[in-house]
Structure 1
Amino acid sequence: MVPSRITVIGAGIIGMSTAAFLQRAGHKVTVIDRVAPGDGCSFGNAGGVAFAEVTPTIHPRILLKIPGWLMDPLGPLTIRWSYLPKALPWFLAAGRNALPDRVRKITAARAALGLRAVSDFETLLQAAKASELLVRQDTIRLYDTEAQYQAEEPDRRAKREYGYETKKLTPGEIAEIEPDLARDFACGAFHGGWYHVRNPKSVVTAIAQEFTRNGGEIILDDVIEVTQEAARAAKIRLKTGGERPLDRLVICAGAYSNFFARQFGDKVLLEAERGYHLVMPDPGITLGRSFSYVRTPMVVTPMDVGLRFAGTDEFAGLDAPPNWKRADVLWHSAKRCLPKLRPIDENVSRWMGRRPGTPDGLPVIGPSRKLGNVWYGFGHSHMGLTWGPTTGRLLSEMLSGTPGNTDLSAFRVDRF
């Protein structure tokens, strides 16, 4: 392998992981983003390293719930109706990907990405001397009724097929593990492999600092244009930094990646799945691990900045203003689970981020089909933090010509 000069657009968990693994392979790497590492979508996620979550987000049982959710502007999944015509092709494709045969194939691809997620995470955090940021405590799933627990047996069966064992918890066991959780749940369960980080922003920052210590370059600037010559990306033009020549280019720009893919002639169905979070610096309760609640697609995670409530999906495009009521509604679901939770006050912070989602819930990882020196790493939807380091390793192997043992056909850019 001959080391080369590689430019990565995007300084979130995907872009910085890719840059770090490429640097470890001997390449000279430059990362470009308009915001500092970890200040984009990576900043506000739920902090889950959910490597055992092999079942896709949209599957036949979820399809039955979606119409009701869409009618509620504060529900788990909503769309601003003025945006529906633009999002309709994405939703139609998502429906096709919820058919049983597609779900089986998507599940296998998700399992392949999760197989080395923790070890890839540890590789980068250990190098950055930040291993303490990963908390190896499995997340708890909470159920109001036994029927809710039984309804998710297909998910647990899929996990078992890939080696992830879940354990059912009685109300007494839940109380023993997390005393501040409500005492009236019918049951709970460990997810079978869902850790969390103390702060996702700190994770990306630590990787970025190690990258720059080792000679990597990070440029804070807007990318205005990528010019092409002879089926290659030739130059990149920045808002304030002028033009720079390109050897090889990797696009890890999250929900904005489609601007580049479309320019390069690669067709991708990509939507901004807008998620919200609420952070309470002093919640009045103690929690040792994260938990999810079956009634609401939401995760509550203890972090070094406080207690974070994160979740929901909103389809409104990239530029629509946030609906902060969608952040506040997360508190109400959390309050049911944490009776001693303090009320929302002026110390609470709110955030909205744009998850890059594809209709099959799988990322795009691999080369452009149109330009010979362009690669992609985007479209991770709710799994960016989990699959970020692994995506970086896989891209590094591809660009370095290193044989890998992961079937990447499910992540091709030309599958849409």
Structure 2
Amino acid sequence: MSELSATIIGAGIVGVSTAAFLQREGYDVTIIDRVLPGEGCSFGNAGGLAFSEIVPTVHSRMLLKIPGWLVDPMGPLTIRWSYFPKALPWFLALARNSLPDRVRAITAARADLAMRVVSDFESLLKAAGTEDLIRYEDTLRLYDNEAQYLAEAPERAAKTPYGFEMKRLSGDEARELEPAIGPNVHCGVFHGGWYFLTNPGRAVKSIAAEVVKNGGRIIEDDVVSLVRDAGRVKALQLKTQGQHKVHRLVICAGAYSHLLAKQLGEKVLLEAERGYHMVLPNSGVKLSRSLTYARSPGAATPMEMGLRLAGSDEFAGLDAAPNYARADALWKNFKAVLPGLRQPDQETTRWMGRRPGTPDSLPVIGPSKTTANVWYGFGHGHMGLTWGPTTGRLIAETMSGRKSNIDLAPFRADRF
């Protein structure tokens, strides 16, 4: 086995990006996943390169909204109450990380990750010949009334020092830009840095194909356990293909990553933030950009396969059956601002995926603290597509002993 060989567990955007950047550092790479590249959360997300989203997902003002959301079974956040005791430590940590000083520190760390999002993505897609998948149109956020707009002033103020300006549009200006927007929209703002991909699953597959073209391997199998010896992982026990020898290992297994970290003696607070989407090939509306709506978290994004409505946050564990009524709720939400939106028909598809969320809205990036030849890249929550290529670059730099452009301390594995 080559001294410069690496195995990556996970074939989503983080895993394939890590493999691609490691190849540029001279590594022989193997990707292992139970599903083919781009078939997990990377397939079904909202498609956003949301590099301006530096304020953490939950902060003190949003905490006040959560009780109201929880009493609505179709609200933007729900917990299956049978699962709540297991998730309680995660939610307690979430509350601690919603205090003002923590929000400021988390915002700064997220801003660091945002610096090279677009250039890192462009680098991989250009190499794969699919750079046309990026649309450089800033996402537009819509508001029902002035009070709704003013309520988000603190978030806009927090972004300004980092160069993200959220320009306001009147309702008429928003409709001139996107005629499908309804007359009830009071105003809108550009997000200040939120592009989109027209097919995120195809983007991931194209990067993976380039990895294979450059000599990488992809193994479709389930990693059952990590085989350790003398403080290192020496092999992976696969479900159907026996043992796979390891020289260096990167764990990018999404919502399942903490189960592997646990085998190495590391406790990581990670929950599956289950998101839903609906794709309408016959939506009846035409958009040139992605839209978000202040009434409820989620995005409407024009894609190759139709209009994708994505969002929702459901805590029910890894294995609970999907509740596709939550996908239908996204249609009802966006119908309020896109009055021409047609009813779902026989060609409409629905999907559920498991976002790997940490209670501080920061991913885990960097070396294991217990095992010498293991690195981590997971826990990106709602920002996996956005931060995936940058995470891959940072891991490749760290494994190669080169100094990165940001401080990785906020993303260390032992911070929980």
Superposition TM-score tier, normalisation by shorter sequence: over 0.9
Match of 1:365 in 2: 365
- The separation in 2 between residues aligned to 1:30 and 1:94, in whole angstroms, is 35
What is aligned with 1:61?
61
Deviations 1:90-135 (A, max 9, x none): 0000000000000000000000001100000001011111110111
Match of 1:44 in 2: 44
Using the TM superposition, give the Cα deviation of residue 165 of structure 1 relative to its aligned residue in structure 2, in angstroms: 1.1
Aligned to 1:339: 339
Q: Which residue of 1 aligns with 2:382?
A: 382
Distance in 1 (alpha carbons) for counterparts of 2:129 and 2:280 = 28
In structure 2, the residue matched to 1:296 is 296
Q: Assess if the C-alpha contact under 8 Å between 1:10 and 1:32 holds in 2.
A: yes
d(CA) in 2 for partners of 1:183, 1:160: 29
Note if contact 1:113-1:390 (Cα within 8 Å) is conserved in structure 2.
yes
In structure 2, the residue matched to 1:235 is: 235
Match of residue 187 from structure 2: 187
Question: How many angstroms apart in 2 are the aligned matches of 1:68 and 1:179?
Answer: 33
Deviations 1:39-84 (A, max 9, x none): 0111100000000111001001100000111111111000000000
Match of 1:398 in 2: 398
**1:394: Cα distance to partner?**
0.1
Instruction: Give 2:4's aligned residue.
Output: 4
Q: CA deviation at 1:184?
A: 2.2
- 1:148 alignment counterpart: 148
| Residue number in structure 1 paired with 2:271 | 271
The answer for the alignment partner of 1:123 in structure 2 is 123
Q: Does 1:409 align with 2:413?
A: no
Contact 2:139 2:291 in 1 (8 A): yes
The residue aligned with 2:91 is: 91
Cα distance in 2, alignment partners of residues 211 and 94 from structure 1 = 37
Q: Is the 8 A contact 1:3 1:28 kept in 2?
A: no
Matches within 5 A, 1:130-279: 130-279=130-279
Identify unmatched segments of 5+ residues in structure 2: none
Q: Is the 8 A contact 2:76 2:313 kept in 1?
A: yes
Partners of 1:243 and 1:309 lie apart in 2 by 41
Give the distance between the partners of 2:331 and 2:3, measured in 1 at CA: 50
**Percentage of pairs with the same residue:** 62
Quote how far apart the aligned CAs of 1:183 are. Answer: 2.0
C-alpha separation in 2, matches of 1:301 and 1:244: 40
How many matched pairs? 415
For 1:103 and 1:336, how far apart are their aligned partners in 2?
32
Q: Aligned partner of 2:259: which letter?
A: F
Which residue in 2 is equivalent to 1:322? 322
Aligned partner of residue 228 in structure 2, secondary structure: strand
What letter is aligned with 2:174? I
Q: Tell me which moved more, 146-155 or 268-277.
A: 146-155
Deviation at 1:282, TM superposition (A): 1.2
Say whether the 8 Å CA contact 2:274–2:313 is kept in structure 1.
yes
Structure 1 contact 169–187 (Cα < 8 Å) conserved: yes
CA separation in 2, counterparts of 1:342 and 1:308? 13
Equivalent position SS for 2:321: coil
Deviation (angstroms), 1:3? 5.9
Q: How far apart, in 2, do the equivalents of 1:286 and 1:332 lie?
A: 17
Counterpart code for 1:14: V
Alpha-carbon separation, structure 2, partners of 1:125 and 1:405: 21
The answer on whether the counterparts of 1:3 and 1:26 sit within 8 Å (CA) in structure 2 is no
User: Quick check: 2:3–2:247 contact (8 Å CA) kept in 1?
Assistant: no
Alpha-carbon shift at residue 344 of structure 1 (Å): 1.3
Distance, in Å, in 2 between the alignment partners of 1:133 and 1:277 is 19
SS of the equivalent of 2:354 reads: strand
Residue 414 of structure 1 aligns to a residue whose secondary structure is: coil
Cα distance in 2 for residues equivalent to 1:184 and 1:224:
53
Q: Corresponding residue for 2:313?
A: 313
Contact 2:226–2:233 at 8 Å: present in 1 too? yes
> Do the aligned partners of 2:178 and 2:287 also contact (CA within 8 Å) in 1?
yes
Q: Distance between the aligned counterparts of 2:146 and 2:415, measured in 1? A: 39
Check whether the contact 1:276–1:353 (CA below 8 A) recurs between aligned residues: yes
Please tell me the residue identity of whatever aligns with 2:171: P
| Paired position in structure 1 for 2:282 | 282
Conserved in 2, the CA contact under 8 Å of 1:8 and 1:252?
A: yes
TM-aligned CA deviation for residue 405 of structure 1 = 2.2
Shift of 1:210: 0.7
| Distance in structure 1 (CA, Å) of the matches to 2:378 and 2:186 | 39
Distance in structure 2 (CA, Å) of the matches to 1:323 and 1:177: 35
Q: Secondary structure at the match of 1:413?
A: coil
| Conserved? CA contact 1:7–1:31, under 8 Å | yes
Contact 1:365/1:413 (8 A) holds in 2: yes
Aligned residue type for 1:152: E
- How far apart, in 2, do the equivalents of 1:253 and 1:199 lie? 21
> What is the CA deviation profile of residues 260-297 of structure 1, one whole-angstrom value per residue up to 9, with x for unaligned ones?
00000011000000000000011111111000000010
**Mapped partners of 1:181, 1:160: distance in 2:** 27
Hey, what's the Cα distance between the residues in 2 that align with 1:329 and 1:65? 18
TM-score normalised to structure 2 length:
0.99
CA offsets per residue over residues 351-380 of structure 1, 9 Å max, x none?
Answer: 000000000010000111110000000000
8 Å contact from structure 1 (residues 7, 248) kept in 2: yes
| TM-score in terms of structure 1 length | 0.99
Following superposition, the deviation at residue 238 of structure 1 comes to: 1.2
